[in-house]
């Protein structure tokens, strides 16, 4: 039996996951439920009521066989930029516009015109059509009736927290960022919303992650099995939640997530301003900042190129090949980190005539992109000297993880449970009076510790310098960034 357990609820795109974790990081229970939505061209919508039904199902499964009375608190994360408009009773008036719904192209332009100086001061310079504020403007422009009455903006996690508590709740700073919240002055810039015709009464209160929002209502308790009166704390976006779940919570620590694309998220004591807008910061728990950025390079190119091949066999061959070719592992036709460029295309340096050689070249290419990301962060004077964790599907390939560590020249750990729901359990556990750092140290467990092999560094760094030079020669990589990367590689 567990004396005290914490719930983390992760509302994703395809499923809801719930973890039940004790004070020492043991997984006491887990549950999941599937989600589905409609994707039509640039539009991607889901039924918010189905989010709630999935949460109910996942909670029931996660708590099955446990003493529910031991639940001491919970937090909810959800996809960043997913919104809907609902009434004060929490009844949806629109579908949920998902994080990757990018219909609001014209509205993004209007948002940038209305609030450009503020977005620049926050370090991201412009909003993307998939961000929450352009989508909110799109809804109000196309459905004028939504401006009337007592309706309000809900982010996906706000909606679930409100259902658990029984009334509308504050949102958190990480979700509010893409809705136009000024995370420096900690206010909604009303002058911008006035220009856009967005009634400020529609906007929720904003609090820091970990702030108590309320307690689980009797009605929600009867549906989910979570005891009535359980505190609900403000959560985070799914990316920030995964960072907590990986244990990247100390200043200078970073979580490198290798999935379809490569995402890096870290911790800083100061807001990091990137002149190119590549890196931007969330406001984290307490007084921390969470800089991060996502590449359009990553493991997706492996699935595309070798989806019908035995990757274990290819890995075994790649491990026997001396450092040779390197390939730019581009998933899309543009890059967004560690540089911004359109109309870029994949390339290969060296001989990669057979599958094994090309596979090895792509593995090294991802490692080179990751190293260049870290060099770019160093150029921005972002603290990068803390612990490094690696998560995502790419970590299942141990050879690849070791290759990445060897090129970076720094140790890294792979957590046993690197899930957003885990991060929310960590955040909820701060109700016990410990800091996020203390909670993560106690609860996040390492599955594997990797240390760099210095004998491999010379050959890997030589190929890395070739890779950087090729990007610069094509005009994609700024000369200043390229020079800084080369200098660090020569140290």
Q: What is the pLDDT of residue 331?
A: 86
For the stretch 36-76, pLDDT in tens is 877 788 899 999 999 999 999 999 999 999 999 999 999 99
Over residues 437-441, the mean pLDDT reads 95
Q: What secondary structure does DSSP assign to 335-399, as a single string?
A: E-SSS-EES----EES---SHHHHHHHHHHHHHHHHHHHHHHHHHTT----S-EEEESGGGG-HH
Q: What is the pLDDT of residue 388?
A: 97
Confidence of residue 110 (pLDDT cuts 50, 70, 90): very high
Over residues 134-154, the mean pLDDT reads 94
Q: What is the pLDDT of residue 32?
A: 95
* pLDDT over threshold 80, residue 140: yes
For the stretch 181-228, pLDDT in tens is 999 999 999 999 999 999 999 999 999 999 999 999 999 999 999 999
Q: What is the pLDDT of residue 6?
A: 98
How far is the C-alpha of 171 from the C-alpha of 167, rounded, in Å? 13
How far is the C-alpha of 379 from the C-alpha of 477, rounded, in Å? 14
Apex 51 CA angle, 48 and 55, nearest 5: 150
Over residues 441-458, the mean pLDDT reads 96
For the stretch 243-260, pLDDT in tens is 999 999 999 999 999 998
Q: Is the dihedral of CA 417, 423, 425, 429 positive or negative?
A: positive
How far is the C-alpha of 269 from the C-alpha of 380, rounded, in Å? 14
Over residues 25-30, the mean pLDDT reads 95
> At which residue do the structure tokens 């307490």 appear?
286
Q: Do 420 and 391 contact (CB within 8 A), yes or no?
A: no
Q: Quick one: tokens of 108?
A: 């993004």
Which positions ≥6 away from 162 have C-beta within 8 Å?
Answer: 90, 154, 168, 169
> At which residue do the structure tokens 């039940």 appear?
20
* pLDDT over threshold 80, residue 448: yes
Q: What is the pLDDT of residue 446?
A: 94
Q: What is the pLDDT of residue 204?
A: 97
Classify residue 277 as left (phi > 0), alpha (psi -120 to 50) or beta: left
3-state SS, residue 69: helix
Q: What mean pLDDT is reported for the chain?
A: 95
How far is the C-alpha of 257 from the C-alpha of 251, rounded, in Å? 18
For the stretch 258-271, pLDDT in tens is 998 999 999 999 99
Over residues 334-346, the mean pLDDT reads 90
Q: What is the pLDDT of residue 275?
A: 86
How far is the C-alpha of 170 from the C-alpha of 396, rounded, in Å? 38
Q: Read off the pTM.
A: 0.91
* pLDDT over threshold 80, residue 286: no
Q: What secondary structure does DSSP assign to 426-470, as a single string?
A: HHHGGGGS--HHHHHHHH--EEEEE---GGGHHHHHHHHHHHHHH
Long-range contacts for 86-92 (Cβ within 8 Å, ≥24 apart)? 86/48, 86/151, 86/152, 86/154, 86/159, 87/149, 87/150, 87/151, 87/152, 88/150, 88/151, 88/152, 88/167, 88/168, 90/154, 90/159, 90/162, 90/163, 90/167, 90/168, 92/47, 92/48, 92/49, 92/159
> How many residues in the chain?
491
Q: What is the pLDDT of residue 234?
A: 98
* pLDDT over threshold 80, residue 13: yes
* pLDDT over threshold 80, residue 438: yes
Q: What is the pLDDT of residue 123?
A: 84
> At which residue do the structure tokens 């809801």 appear?
16
Q: What is the pLDDT of residue 342?
A: 86
Q: What secondary structure does DSSP assign to 217-286, as a single string?
A: -HHHHHHH-PPTT-EEEEEEEHHHHHHHHTT--STT-EEEEESSSEEEEE-BSS----TTSSSEEEE-ST
Q: What is the pLDDT of residue 389?
A: 97
Among 29-33, 142-146, 320-324, 468-472, the range scoring the smallest mean pLDDT is: 320-324
Apex 470 CA angle, 466 and 471, nearest 5: 120
Cβ neighbours around 193 below 10 Å, total: 21
Q: What is the pLDDT of residue 367?
A: 97
* pLDDT over threshold 90, residue 334: no
Over residues 98-125, the mean pLDDT reads 94
How far is the C-alpha of 448 from the C-alpha of 246, rounded, in Å? 12
Over residues 449-463, the mean pLDDT reads 96
Q: What is the pLDDT of residue 148?
A: 82
* pLDDT over threshold 90, residue 417: no
């Amino acid at each position: 039996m567990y004396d005290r357990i914490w719930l983390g609820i992760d509302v994703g795109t395809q499923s809801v996951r719930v973890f039940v974790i004790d004070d020492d990081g043991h997984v006491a229970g887990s549950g999941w439920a599937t989600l589905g939505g409609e994707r039509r061209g640039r539009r991607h919508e889901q039924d918010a009521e189905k989010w709630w039904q999935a949460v109910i199902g996942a909670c029931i499964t996660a708590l099955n066989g446990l003493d529910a009375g031991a639940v001491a608190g919970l937090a909810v994360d959800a996809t960043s930029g997913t919104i809907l408009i609902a009434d004060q009773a929490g009844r949806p008036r629109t579908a949920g516009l998902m994080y990757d719904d990018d219909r609001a192209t014209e509205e993004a332009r209007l948002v940038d015109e209305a609030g450009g100086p503020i977005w620049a001061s926050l370090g991201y310079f412009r909003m993307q059509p998939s961000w929450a504020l352009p989508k909110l403007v799109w809804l109000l422009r196309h459905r004028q009736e939504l401006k009337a009455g007592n309706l309000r903006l809900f982010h996906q996690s706000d909606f679930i927290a409100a259902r658990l508590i029984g009334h509308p709740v504050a949102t958190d700073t990480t979700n509010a960022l893409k809705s136009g919240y000024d995370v420096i002055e900690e206010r909604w810039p009303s002058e911008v919303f006035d220009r856009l015709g967005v009634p400020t009464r529609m906007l929720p209160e904003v609090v820091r992650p970990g702030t108590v929002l309320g307690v689980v209502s009797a009605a929600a308790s009867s549906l989910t099995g979570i005891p009535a009166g359980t505190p609900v704390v403000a959560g985070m976006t799914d990316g920030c939640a995964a960072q907590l779940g990986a244990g990247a919570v100390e200043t200078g620590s970073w979580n490198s997530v290798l999935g379809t694309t490569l995402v890096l998220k870290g911790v800083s004591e100061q807001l990091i301003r990137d002149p190119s807008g590549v890196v931007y910061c969330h406001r984290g728990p307490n007084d921390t900042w969470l800089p991060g950025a996502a590449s359009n390079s990553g493991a997706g190119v492996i699935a595309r190129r070798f989806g019908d091949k035995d990757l274990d066999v290819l890995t075994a061959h790649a491990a026997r090949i001396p450092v040779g070719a390197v390939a730019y592992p581009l998933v899309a036709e543009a890059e967004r980190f560690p540089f911004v460029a359109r109309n870029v295309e994949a390339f290969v340096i060296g001989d990669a005539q057979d599958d094994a050689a090309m596979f090895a070249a792509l593995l090294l290419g991802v490692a080179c992109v990751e190293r260049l990301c870290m060099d770019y962060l160093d150029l921005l004077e972002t603290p990068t000297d803390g612990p490094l964790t690696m998560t995502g599907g790419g970590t299942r390939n141990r050879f690849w993880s070791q290759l990445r560590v060897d090129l970076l020249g720094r140790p890294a750990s792979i957590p046993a449970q690197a899930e957003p729901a885990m991060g929310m359990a960590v955040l909820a556990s701060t109700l016990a009076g410990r800091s996020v750092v203390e909670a993560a140290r106690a609860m996040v467990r390492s599955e594997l510790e990797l240390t760099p092999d210095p004998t491999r560094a010379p050959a890997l760094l030589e190929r890395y310098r070739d890779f950087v030079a090729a990007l610069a020669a094509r005009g994609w990589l700024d000369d200043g960034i390229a020079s800084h990367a080369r200098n660090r590689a020569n140290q």
